[in-house]
């Protein structure tokens, strides 16, 4: 066989043991928060039928779906693009076994054929929490609270949870006399506000063929959101202001009333005022959102910490209706775990007790004659619940210590002729060179204590 140079598919990664341990820490931390709010774990296949995925995300997003055909395959298959559409499909299919409201979380990889960038991959994990079957805004506020708490538990405090409403955006379009394609273009331009500024958006809208006067009216509404002022008081003021201006547009008023409730519940849930922001210019690309939409961004000024949005979500009351007779109100939110990990790596946000290896004790092998004794000691330690490695191969003690050090194994057990004679084991903690001789009977207990 000809040799091939090992390569990864573009935008995909191997995770080495050390990486996996850190990722597991992040995943377990957020999963614990999800469960604290009563969300249940759900798993679905990585492949879905094409018909399940197509037509849900919008034309731009659909181009990024990976198709997964095999030669002669009868079913048209594709890799899941997110966890939301699979939830809708799974819920509709399994609802006889479920009860409403159905709160579920899912932490699993999804695939998008995008151009990779920092914090952006073609295979990446999403952490979704969704609440099926609750019409009221308490559900929207709940998923936001869950996401905010998850970020806080990981140690983040410098982010803004931006909140807006699709109904309000559409209402602004109606107010400006736009619909269809023109409306979609309006959203796209508005979404760039924080990037290209008020003037940039104004120019782009005018270039897009919208009358200068109409553009001015739109900018008067959303331009006020260009400021990054956060907090409940600001949101309340802004809602009041928009309510007056848009008094003739029922859809916009409906959206504003929903937002008012969301902020009301969020405040009661003690989500800090400094973290929430009503941003009428925040849009989000996915096609299925129908009501409130959310997006959290890092407030870091460091350009190396610009990793896009950390959290995204919203209400999608029509999506499940595509898979059953009648629609079911649903709202959900997704944590960008990959981006959180990029920031945590950079800032060293992992707790000090996180180890680089699962191995807790290395049992050294003095020589081949003493290997059976080493194996017996390892079994004894394992029976006490420890993760134990017995040194493989023959090497001088010094090499075995160097190996433990390099691997990050915290504890080394030495069992030589002297110890065997005396019925003892010598334990050494590498971090501080603490060494003690213990009897065979108490070795497991002392080892636990030394970790």
Partner RNA sequence: GUGGCCGUGGUGGAGGGGUACCACGUCUGGUUGUGGCCCAGAAGGUCGAGGGUUCGAAGCCCUCCGGUCACCCCA
Closer to RNA by Cβ: residue 94 or 117: 117
Q: What residue ranges bind RNA (CB under 7 A)?
A: 7-8, 10-11, 60-61, 82, 112, 114-122, 124, 126, 188, 191-192, 195-196, 283-286, 295, 303, 306, 308-312, 334, 336, 338-339, 396-399, 401-402, 405-406, 412, 414, 416-419, 426, 428, 430-431, 433, 435
CB of 397 to RNA, least distance (A): 4
In whole angstroms, give the CA distance from residue 380 to residue 360. 14
Q: At what angle do helices 212-222 and 232-245 cross, to 10 degrees?
A: 150
Closer to RNA by Cβ: residue 52 or 239: 52
CB of 117 to RNA, least distance (A): 4
Helix (H) or strand (E) holding 261: helix 250-268
In whole angstroms, give the CA distance from residue 389 to residue 51. 49
3-state secondary structure of 390: strand
Q: Concatenated DSSP letters for 73-115?
A: -SS-EEE-S-SHHHHHHHHHHHGGG--SSEEEEEEEEEE--PP
CB of 345 to RNA, least distance (A): 13
Task: Please work out, in degrees rounded to the nearest 5, the angle formed at the alpha carbon of residue 277 by the alpha carbons of 268 and 179.
Answer: 115
CB of 212 to RNA, least distance (A): 22
3-state secondary structure of 122: coil
Residue with tokens 């197509």: 54
Closer to RNA by Cβ: residue 95 or 405: 405
CB of 421 to RNA, least distance (A): 8
Q: What is the DSSP letter of 116?
A: P
Residue with tokens 């180890």: 355
Strand segments, DSSP code E, in 112-158 are 123-132
Closer to RNA by Cβ: residue 131 or 362: 362
The distance of Cα 438 from the centroid of its chain, to the nearest Å, equals 46
CB of 132 to RNA, least distance (A): 18
Closer to RNA by Cβ: residue 77 or 335: 335
Cβ proximity of 122 and 111 under 8 Å? yes
Tokens of 381: 């330690």
Closer to RNA by Cβ: residue 248 or 394: 394
Report the helix count and the strand count for the chain, using DSSP H and E: 16, 15
In whole angstroms, give the CA distance from residue 433 to residue 415. 17
Tokens of 405: 């050090």
Closer to RNA by Cβ: residue 283 or 359: 283
Q: Is 231 left (phi over 0), alpha (psi -120 to 50) or beta?
A: left
CB of 438 to RNA, least distance (A): 12
CB of 437 to RNA, least distance (A): 8
Closer to RNA by Cβ: residue 56 or 112: 112
CB of 55 to RNA, least distance (A): 15
Closer to RNA by Cβ: residue 345 or 418: 418
Closer to RNA by Cβ: residue 241 or 371: 371
Q: In what order do the strands lie in the sheet with 40-41?
A: 40-41, 102-111, 123-132, 330-335, 309-315, 292-298, 159-165, 276-278
CB of 292 to RNA, least distance (A): 15
């Amino acid at each position: 066989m000809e040799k091939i140079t090992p390569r990864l598919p573009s935008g995909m990664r191997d995770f080495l043991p050390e990486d996996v341990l850190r990722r597991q820490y992040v995943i377990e931390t957020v999963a614990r928060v999800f469960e604290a709010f009563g969300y249940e774990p759900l798993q679905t296949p990585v492949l879905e039928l094409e018909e399940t995925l197509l037509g849900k995300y919008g034309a731009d997003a659909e181009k990024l779906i990976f198709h997964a055909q095999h030669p002669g395959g009868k079913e048209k298959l594709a890799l899941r693009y997110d966890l939301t559409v699979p939830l809708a499909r799974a819920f509709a299919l399994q609802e006889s076994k479920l009860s409403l409201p159905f709160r579920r979380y899912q932490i699993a990889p999804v695939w998008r054929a995008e151009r990779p960038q920092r914090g952006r991959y073609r295979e990446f994990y999403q952490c979704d929490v969704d609440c099926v079957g609750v019409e009221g805004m308490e559900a929207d506020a709940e998923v936001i609270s869950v996401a905010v708490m998850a970020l806080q538990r990981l140690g983040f405090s410098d982010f803004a949870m931006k909140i807006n409403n699709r109904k309000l955006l559409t209402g602004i379009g109606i107010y400006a006399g736009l619909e269809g394609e023109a409306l979609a273009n309006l959203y796209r331009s508005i979404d760039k506000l924080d990037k290209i500024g008020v003037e940039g958006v104004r120019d782009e809208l005018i270039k897009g063929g919208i009358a200068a006067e109409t553009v001015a009216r739109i900018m008067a509404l959303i331009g006020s959101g260009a400021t990054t002022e956060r907090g409940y008081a600001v949101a309340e003021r802004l809602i009041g202001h928009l309510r007056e201006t848009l008094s003739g547009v029922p859809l916009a008023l409906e959206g504003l009333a929903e937002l008012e409730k969301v902020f009301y519940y969020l405040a009661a849930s003690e989500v800090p005022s400094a973290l929430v922001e009503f941003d009428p210019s925040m849009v989000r690309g996915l096609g299925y959102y129908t009501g409130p939409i959310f997006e959290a961004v890092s407030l870091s000024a460091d350009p190396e910490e610009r990793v896009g949005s950390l959290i995204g979500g919203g209400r999608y009351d029509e999506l499940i209706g595509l898979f059953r007779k009648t629609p079911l109100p649903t709202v959900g939110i997704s944590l960008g775990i990959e981006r959180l990990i990029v920031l945590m790596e950079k800032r060293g946000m992992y707790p000090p007790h996180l180890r680089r290896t699962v191995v807790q004790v290395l049992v050294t092998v003095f020589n081949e004659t003493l290997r059976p004794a080493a194996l017996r000691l390892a079994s004894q330690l394992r029976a006490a619940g420890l993760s134990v490695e017995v040194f493989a191969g023959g090497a001088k003690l010094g090499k075995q210590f160097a190996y433990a050090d390099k691997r990050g194994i915290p504890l080394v057990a030495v069992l030589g002729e002297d110890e065997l004679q005396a019925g003892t084991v010598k334990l050494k903690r590498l971090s501080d060179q603490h060494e003690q001789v213990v009897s065979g009977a108490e070795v497991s207990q002392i080892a636990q204590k030394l970790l």
